[in-house]
Chain A
Amino acid sequence: MTRINTSFSSGPDGRGHFGLYGGRYLAETLMPLILDVERSYSQAMADSTFAAEMRSLLCHYVGRPTPLSFAARLTAHLGGAKIYLKREDLNHTGAHKINNCIGQCLLARRMGRKRIIAETGAGQHGVATATVCALFGMSCTIYMGSRDIKRQAQNVFRMKLLGADVKPVEAGTKTLKDALNETLRDWLASVESTYYLIGTAAGPHPYPAMVRNFQSVIGHETREQVIAQEGRLPDTLIACIGGGSNAIGLFHPFLDEEGVRLIGVEAAGHGLESGRHAASLLGGHVGVLHGNRTYLLQDFDGQIATAHSIAAGLDYPGVGPEHAWLRDSGRVSYVSINDDEALHAFQLLTRLEGIIPALESSHAIAYIIKLAPTLSKDHVMVVNLSGRGDKDLTTVTAIMRGEES
C-alpha cells in the first residue's frame, strides 16, 4: 500500500533526483569525490556543532537576520498589493550568495580541503567565496568569463583584494556557462586537494539540495518576519531566477503552504520571441549539462545555446533541477521580464525607496510593477531583493548614456 506523497518539499530522492530532474551526470574522475561530498554533507547535517557554527557566522559575520522592509512608497505608487522587500542586499558582500559560501566553506574545512574553486557570473558569488576564503585562510581560485570581467570590473578588483586568483575564461561565450566548464576542468585536475564551491542550486547531487538548504535561511526568516508584521503568512512570494538559488531559498519553507503563491522571474533579455534571452524554463528544453538534468537553452542537436541578459548573474542557459520539477508540477509559476523592464524597475526602486537593487533582483521588482496594481490592498507580497546594485552602475550608466543597446 503506497500513499501518494503530496509534499513539494521532500525532494530530492536518495539518488539526487527531483522527479525526472537532477542526478549526477559527471565524468568518472569526479564521481568518487562527489559521493564523498555527499557523505560529508550528510554527516555535517547530523552534527549540531556544524549548525551552531553556521548560525553564529551568519549572525555575527554576515549580519543576519536581514530585515523585511515594508516598501511604503512603492506600494502607494503601484496602488495595489502591500509590498515587502526581503533585504538580502544588506548581507555582508551585498547579496544572498554568502549564505551558501559560509555553509560550503565550513563543509570544505571539515573535509580537510585547503583550496576552494568557484565560478562566477556577476561576480557576487566570486566575491562571497573570496571573502569567506579570506576569513577561513583558504586558497581561492575564481573562474570568470572574460566578457563578465569587463562588465563587472569592480567585483574583479574586490576579489583580487581579497586574495583570490581570478582566472579569465576565453572559451565559448565567455560568460557564466564557460566559467562553470572551466571550474569543472580545474576540479578534474585537482580532485585530491580542492573543493568546488558551486554558487547556485544546480550541478550534480548533492549541490542543488545543499545550496537550497543553506539558502533556506531566507525563507525561514521571511516566514517569522511576515507573521510578526502582518500576523499571517504572505499571499505571494516573488524572486528572480538565474540558477535559482535565491528563489529556492525563499520558496522552499513555503512549498507546502497551499495558500502561498510562488512566482519565479526569468530573464527575457531582448524578449522571449527574439531568441536572445536567458529564460530556460520558459524557452528551453530538457537536457543534461553541468552534472544535472534540467531545462536548457539548446538547439535540436543538443548543443548548448548562448544566454542573453543585461544581468550577468542571470546570464546562464540552465536552471536548478528543483525549479524544473516545480515548473512541471505547477507549484511555482514562472514568468519573464526583459532587459528594458528590469532597467525601469532598477530606477524606480532607487527613486522611491532609496535602495539600488542588483539588475538580477530588478527582474523580480519589474514583475511586481506589473502584478501589484492588479491585486487588492490587503494582498501581502514579499519580493526577494537578492542583491544590491552598486556592482551594476557601470553597466547602467553606459546604457543610460546610450553606449550599449
Chain B
Amino acid sequence: MSEPFSEVRPHFVAESSRLQHTFAALLAAKKGGIVVYIMAADPDVETSLAILRSLPRMGVDVIELGVPFSDPLADGPILQRASQRALKAGGSLVRTLEIARLFRTENNTTPLILMGYYNPIYVYGPERFAKAAAAVGIDGCIIVDLPPEEADEVREFLKPRGIDFIVLATPTTDSARVPFLLEKSSGFIYYVSVTGTTGTISATQQAITQAIIRLRHQTERPIAVGFGIMTPEQVAAGASVADAVVVGSAVIQRIADCLDTNGRPRPGLVEDVLSFIKELAIAAHTSRKALSLRRCP
C-alpha cells in the first residue's frame, strides 16, 4: 500500500524550528504575535486553501489549521458549525494534510500547527500520522482531548520528527501540575483563558495578566493566549502580556457571515475575512508591551 504523504524530504528548518524562529523574532522585535485558527475545508476546500495561503501576507505569525471532527467536545456553536460545514464539504484528516502540503509548496517559513481531536489521528495511526505530518511540513500539534497523561502514545512518534506536542494550560491547571505539562510537551504554551468552550465567553484582562505572570514563573517557553478573544482591542490587550494571541471563533464567524443561504461562499468572502485578519495582526504587532511581563531575550 502506498502512503499518500512521502517522508522522503521532511520540511525541517535547519538550525531551529520554524516555531522557535518565529517566537524569537517576535521577542527580539518586542512585538506581540498573532496566531490565527481556520478549519481545513470550511466552508469548502478551495476557499479554506485560498484563505490559508494569504495568511502570512496579512501578517499572521503562526497558523493553526483545524481538523474537522464530528464531536468537537471543547468547541462552542461557532466551531461546531464549522466542523459540520467542513465534513459536508469532504473535509477529513487526510484532506487537512493535503491542504497543509499545498500551503507548504509556497511557504517554508510560517509555522503551521494542526489542532483537532484525537480520534481521527488514532484511527489513522499515530505513527503514520506523525510521518505524514512531517512530510507535509507540520510544526506542531494541539490535540484537545489528549492530555499529557495519555499523550506518550503519540509524542513518541512526533518528537523524533521535530514536531512539537503543544499543551493547553487552563484556569483550572494549578501550579503543581504545570511542571508535568512542561515535561510532556514542547513548543509554546497555549493558555486557555476561560473555563468553557471556544468562542463563548471572554476572560477579563486582569485574569489573563495574572495567569501569564503565574506561568512565567514556571517556564521560559513562549505563551500564546486564546479562547474568547474576538476583537482587535482584545488582541491588543492580550498581546501586551503574552507572546502571542490566538483568534479562532471570531475569524470562523466572519466566514460564516459571508455564506449565502445554501452555505456557499458569497463573492468577496476571502477578501473580507483577510481584511479582518489584517486588523487583528496590526493590533497584535502594535500593542504596547507591558515590559515587566516579557521574557528575557
Which size class do B's interface residues fall under? 35 or more
Output the nearest chain B residue to A306 by Cβ-Cβ distance: B70
Q: State whether B70 touches A303 (Cβ < 8 A).
A: yes
Looking at chain B's contact residues, is the secondary structure mostly helix, strand, loop, or mixed? loop
B22 close to A (CB within 8 Å): no
List residues of chain A with CB under 8 Å of any chain B CB: 15, 23-33, 171-172, 177-178, 181, 184-185, 188-192, 285-291, 293, 296, 298, 300-304
Separation of A379 and B73 alpha carbons in the complex (Å): 47
**Chain A residues positioned under 8 Å from B150 (CB to CB):** 23-25
| Set of chain B residues within 8 Å of A298, measured between Cβ atoms | 119, 123
Q: How far is the CB of A199 from chain B (nearest CB, A)?
A: 17
Nearest neighbor of B92 in chain A, beta-carbon distance: A301
- Complex CA gap A33/B174 in Å reads 11
Q: How far is the CA of A65 from the CA of B287 in the complex (A)?
A: 68
A191 cross-chain contacts in B, Cβ below 8 A: 172, 195
CB-CB nearest in chain B for A190: B195
- Complex alpha-carbon distance, A84 and B87, angstroms: 48
Q: Decide if A301 touches B195 in the complex (CB within 8 Å).
A: no
The residues of A that contact B192 with a CB separation of less than 8 Å are: 28-29
Q: Is the CB of A302 within 8 A of B124?
A: yes
Q: How far is the CA of A288 from the CA of B145 in the complex (A)?
A: 9
Known contacts being A189-B200, A288-B118, is A29 close to B170, with CB within 8 Å?
yes
Is A28's CB under 8 angstroms from B170's CB? yes
Complex Cα spacing A184 to B74, Å: 8
6 tightest A-B CB contacts, nearest first: A302-B123, A302-B120, A189-B196, A301-B92, A302-B119, A303-B70
Q: In the complex, are the beta carbons of A28 and B167 less than 8 A apart?
A: yes
Q: B155-182 CB contact bits vs A (8 Å, 1 = yes)? A: 0000000000001111111100100010
Known: A32-B172, A303-B69, A303-B87. A26 touches B147 (CB 8 A): yes
In the complex the two chains form, is B147's CB within 8 Å of A303's CB? no
**B202: Cβ under 8 A from any A Cβ:** no
Knowing A28-B167, A301-B93, say if A287 contacts B144 (CB, 8 Å). no
B195 & A189 in contact (Cβ 8 Å cutoff):
yes
Given contacts A26-B147, A28-B168, A31-B149, whether A188 and B196 have CB atoms under 8 Å apart is yes
List B contacts of A28 (CB < 8 A): 147, 167-170, 172-173, 181, 192
Judging by beta carbons under 8 Å apart, are A188 and B70 in contact? no
Which B-chain residue is minimally distant from A171 (CB atoms)? B80
Q: How far is the CA of A302 from the CA of B67 in the complex (A)?
A: 11
CA distance A29 to B122 in the complex (A): 22
B197 interface residue (CB < 8 Å to A): yes
Note all chain A residues with C-beta closer than 8 A to B168.
Answer: 27-29
Could you say which residues of chain A place their CB within 8 Å of the CB of B122? 286-288, 293, 302
Interface pair B123/A188, CB less than 8 Å apart = no
Known contacts A172-B70, A189-B200, A301-B93; 8 additional CB pairs below 8 A are A27-B145, A185-B196, A191-B172, A288-B119, A288-B122, A301-B124, A303-B70, A303-B87
B67 to chain A, nearest CB (A): 10
**Among A15, A177, A181, A304, which residue has its beta carbon within 8 angstroms of that of B149?**
A15
Give chain B residues whose Cβ lies under 8 Å from the Cβ of A15: 149
Residues in chain B near residue A181, CB distance under 8 A: 71, 73
Name 7 interchain pairs, CB-CB below 8 A, sorted by A: A29-B172, A172-B70, A172-B71, A189-B201, A191-B172, A291-B145, A301-B123
Task: Kindly supply a per-residue 1/0 record for chain B positions 179-207, scoring 1 wherever the CB is within 8 Å of any chain A CB and 0 otherwise.
Answer: 00100000000001001110011000000
Known contacts: A26-B145, A192-B195. The answer to whether A32 contacts B174 by CB under 8 A is yes
Are B119 and A188 within 8 A (Cβ)?
A: no
Residues on the B chain within 8 Å of A184, using CB? 73
Q: For A189, list chain B residues within 8 Å (CB).
A: 195-197, 200-201
Smallest CB gap from A29: residue in B: B170
Whether A31 touches B147, Cβ cut-off 8 Å, given contacts A181-B71, A303-B69, A304-B70, is yes
Q: A298-B123, A301-B94 are in contact. Are A188 and B174 (CB under 8 A)?
A: no
For B59-84 the 0/1 string (1 means CB < 8 A from A) is 00000000001110110100010000
Q: Is B121 an interface residue (CB 8 A)?
A: yes
Residue of B nearest to A183 (CB): B73
Which chain A residues border B197 with CB–CB below 8 Å?
185, 188-189
Nearest chain B CB to A243 CB, angstrom units: 16
How distant is the Cα of A350 from the Cα of B171 in the complex, in angstroms? Answer: 54
Contacts of B144 in A (CB 8 A): 27
In the complex, what's the smallest C-beta–C-beta distance from A117 to chain B, in angstroms? 14
A130 to B170, CA, bound (A): 31
Q: In the complex, how many angstroms separate the beta carbon of B283 from the nearest chain A beta carbon?
A: 26
Q: Which residue of B lies closest to A285 (CB)?
A: B123
Q: Which residues of B contact A24 (CB under 8 A)?
A: 147, 149-150
| A24, A25, A291, most chain B CB atoms within 10 A | A25
Contact (A27, B69) CB under 8 Å given A32-B173, A32-B174, A189-B201:
no
Cβ contact within 8 Å between B118 and A25: yes
Kindly list chain B residues whose C-beta atoms are within 8 Å of the C-beta of A26.
145, 147
Shortest Cβ gap from B154 to chain A (Å): 11
Verify if B146 is at the interface (C-beta below 8 Å from A): yes
CA distance A172 to B83 in the complex (A): 11
Bound Cα distance A189, B181 (Å): 21
CA gap between A201 and B173 in the complex, in Å = 27
Within 8 Å by CB of A27, from B73, B87, B94, B123, lies B73
Distance (Å) between the CB of B171 and the closest chain A CB? 8
**Complexed CA–CA distance, A28 and B227 (Å):** 13
In the bound complex, do residue A302 and residue B174 qualify as a contact, i.e. CB atoms below 8 Å apart?
no
